[in-house]
């Protein structure tokens, strides 16, 4: 059951990864956000989006972020979402521009917000250090070390599309506070993501399910990627996923520490610094405001 009382919301996106945001500094938090998320994110009967994000007061940061996927499951972190949260916090006067601390399911992350126009900001996020041990990602059947160019039972046996996509069937796994699996191929457009994505997401190899990425390396500094997000399906962009792809590229020797990731919704800039921390830079844009009347 969704909350029946009218609630103001803001529709925003980061490189096309769109969510419905509720500013809980001004609005009463929904009683059951896990139930509200599928209703409000429905692209035919709701506002439409990849999920729901609540922007809440925090005792340890400028704001606290809770994100719910389109299926109602709660995620630990969303890279494009945190950029939009930070933009909203600054644009609505809850914090000044510049460095803004945001509390997430992954801990407190530092975000640099630079407004670029009405309803828009360019935002750089310190995504923290990746988790690389299989048991922490988590991935089963892969021992306790790193999972780099490893055999993957989740992909299944060779299928017809493998040659069209020029697929390397080995997987590399990374956690950015949420789990990711990366596969490399020669043509991301040839991957039947709508059928392959959900199968890999729920494979027993990934006890907490997994975000699935197929990556085409254009140069050592530029990649194209497509994503099936855990709980949301095919999305225009995935910030934590692009961060994981940056890390995977370095670990496998395919790409440099600084890359541009081409995603269907635009471009994201990534860096896996020598310090071990990953930094992501990209846009945050408001689309419209409205009132959700429940039901």
Q: What is the CATH number of the domain that holds 38?
A: 3.10.310.10
73 in a structural domain: yes
Q: Let me know whether 104 and 50 are in one domain.
A: yes
Q: Let me know whether 118 and 27 are in one domain.
A: yes
206 in a structural domain: yes
Q: Let me know whether 116 and 54 are in one domain.
A: yes
- Distance between CA atoms of residues 25 and 289, nearest Å: 16
Q: Six-digit token pair at 232?
A: 């949301």
Query: Mapping DSSP to helix (H, G, I), strand (E, B) and coil, where does residue 294 land?
Result: coil
131 in a structural domain: no
Residues 98, 93, 96: CA angle, nearest 5 degrees? 20
Q: Let me know whether 191 and 260 are in one domain.
A: yes
189 in a structural domain: yes
User: Which one, of 180, 187, 178, 161, lies nearest residue 228 by Cα?
Assistant: 180
217 in a structural domain: yes
How confident is the model at residue 1, as a pLDDT? Answer: 44
pLDDT tens for each residue of 15-63: 999 999 999 999 999 999 999 999 999 999 999 999 999 999 999 999 9
Tell me the percentage of the chain whose pLDDT exceeds 90.
94
- Distance between CA atoms of residues 229 and 213, nearest Å: 8
84, 173, 185, 238: which is the annotated catalytic residue? 238
User: Which one, of 279, 187, 267, lies nearest residue 17 by Cα?
Assistant: 267
Query: Mapping DSSP to helix (H, G, I), strand (E, B) and coil, where does residue 179 land?
Result: strand
- Distance between CA atoms of residues 89 and 171, nearest Å: 37
232 in a structural domain: yes
The sign of the CA dihedral 39, 43, 44, 47 is positive
Q: Which residue has the higher pLDDT, 156 or 116?
A: 116
Q: Let me know whether 105 and 167 are in one domain.
A: no
78 is catalytic: yes
pLDDT tens for each residue of 120-133: 999 999 999 999 99
Range 126-135 burial, b when 16+ CB lie within 10 A, else e: bbbebbbbbe
Q: Let me know whether 173 and 237 are in one domain.
A: yes
137 in a structural domain: no
207 in a structural domain: yes
Q: Let me know whether 110 and 169 are in one domain.
A: no
Q: Let me know whether 81 and 173 are in one domain.
A: no
Q: What domain range includes position 72?
A: 7-126+282-292
> In which band, very low, low, confident or very high, does the pLDDT at 295 lie, cut at 50, 70 and 90?
low
24, 78, 173, 246: which is the annotated catalytic residue? 78
Q: Let me know whether 98 and 189 are in one domain.
A: no
How confident is the model at residue 100, as a pLDDT? Answer: 97
Alpha helices in the chain (DSSP H): 33-41, 79-91, 160-165, 193-201, 239-252
Instruction: Outline where DSSP puts E strands in 118-239.
Output: 120-128, 167-175, 179-185, 211-219, 222-229, 233-235
Q: Is the pLDDT of residue 106 over 50?
A: yes
How confident is the model at residue 188, as a pLDDT? Answer: 98
Q: End-to-end alpha-carbon separation of the chain, Å?
A: 8
User: Which one, of 179, 232, 219, 211, lies nearest residue 72 by Cα?
Assistant: 232
Q: For the chain, what is the mean pLDDT?
A: 95
pLDDT tens for each residue of 193-207: 999 999 999 999 999
Close Cβ partners of 281 (under 8 Å, ≥ 6 residues apart): 122, 123, 124, 125, 268, 269, 270
Task: Check: CB of residue 100 under 8 Å from CB of residue 106.
Answer: no
Q: Let me know whether 15 and 115 are in one domain.
A: yes
Domain count of the fold of the chain: 2
């Amino acid at each position: 059951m969704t909350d029946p009382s009218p609630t103001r919301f803001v529709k925003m996106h980061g490189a096309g990864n769109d969510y419905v945001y509720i500013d809980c500094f001004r609005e009463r938090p929904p009683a059951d956000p896990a139930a509200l998320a599928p209703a409000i994110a429905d692209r035919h009967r709701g506002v439409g989006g990849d999920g729901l994000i609540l922007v809440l007061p925090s005792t340890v940061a400028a704001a606290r972020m809770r994100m719910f996927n389109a299926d109602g499951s709660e995620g630990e972190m969303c890279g494009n979402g945190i950029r939009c949260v930070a933009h909203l916090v600054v644009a609505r006067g809850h914090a000044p521009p510049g460095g803004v601390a945001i509390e997430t399911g992954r801990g407190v992350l530092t975000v640099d917000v630079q407004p670029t126009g009405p309803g828009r900001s360019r935002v750089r996020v310190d995504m923290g250090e990746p988790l690389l041990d299989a048991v922490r990602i988590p991935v089963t059947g892969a021992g306790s070390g790193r999972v780099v160019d490893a055999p993957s039972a989740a992909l299944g046996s060779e299928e017809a599309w493998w040659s069209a996509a020029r697929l390397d069937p080995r997987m590399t796994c990374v956690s950015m506070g949420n789990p990711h699996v990366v596969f490399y191929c020669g043509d991301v457009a040839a991957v039947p993501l709508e059928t392959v994505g959900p199968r890999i997401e729920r494979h027993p190899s990934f006890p907490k399910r997994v975000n699935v990425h197929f990556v085409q390396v254009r140069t050592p500094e530029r990649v194209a990627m497509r994503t099936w997000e855990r709980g949301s399906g095919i999305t225009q962009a995935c910030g934590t996923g692009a961060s994981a792809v940056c890390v995977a590229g370095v670990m496998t020797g395919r790409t440099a520490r600084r890359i541009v990731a081409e995603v269907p919704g635009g471009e994201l800039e990534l860096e896996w610094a020598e310090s071990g921390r990953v930094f992501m830079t990209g846009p945050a844009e408001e689309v419209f405001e409205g009132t959700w009347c429940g039901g």
